[in-house]
């Protein structure tokens, strides 16, 4: 039996704001071709779940799963670009 987690509305709005802020900052560093900073900010953006954080990953709609997995893949690609020095 899964335990339901109660999330306050204010923290849910804060999560969206934090996600957007870190994602936008990562995009700025990506445009500047600073892959190390871009990967850091894209990784930190994942901490702030932009969707309903009380819903487990397995029970989320498919588009949310795809969004988060693509976000993670982009972050991993940025880490590889940073390590290869391109």
> For the whole model, what pTM was predicted?
0.76
Instruction: Kindly provide the b/e burial profile for residues 4-34, where b requires at least 16 CB atoms within 10 angstroms of the residue's own CB.
Output: eeeeeeeebeebeebbeebbebbeebbeeeb
Q: In whole angstroms, how far apart are CA 85 and each of 33, 41, 81, 82?
A: 11, 18, 6, 5
5 vs 29, more confident: 29
pLDDT tens digits for 43-78?
Answer: 999 888 888 877 888 999 999 999 999 999 999 998
pLDDT score at 5: 61
Neighbours of 76 (CB within 10 A): 13
Q: What is the pLDDT of residues 21-42, one digit of tens each?
A: 999 999 999 999 888 999 999 9
């Amino acid at each position: 039996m899964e335990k339901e987690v109660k999330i306050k509305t204010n923290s849910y709005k804060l999560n969206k704001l934090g996600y957007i802020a870190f994602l936008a900052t990562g995009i700025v560093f990506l445009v500047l071709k600073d892959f190390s900073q871009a990967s850091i900010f894209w990784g930190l953006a994942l901490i702030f779940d932009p969707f309903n954080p009380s819903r487990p990953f397995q029970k989320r709609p498919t588009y949310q799963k795809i969004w988060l997995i693509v976000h993670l893949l982009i972050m991993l690609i940025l880490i590889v670009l940073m390590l290869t020095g391109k």
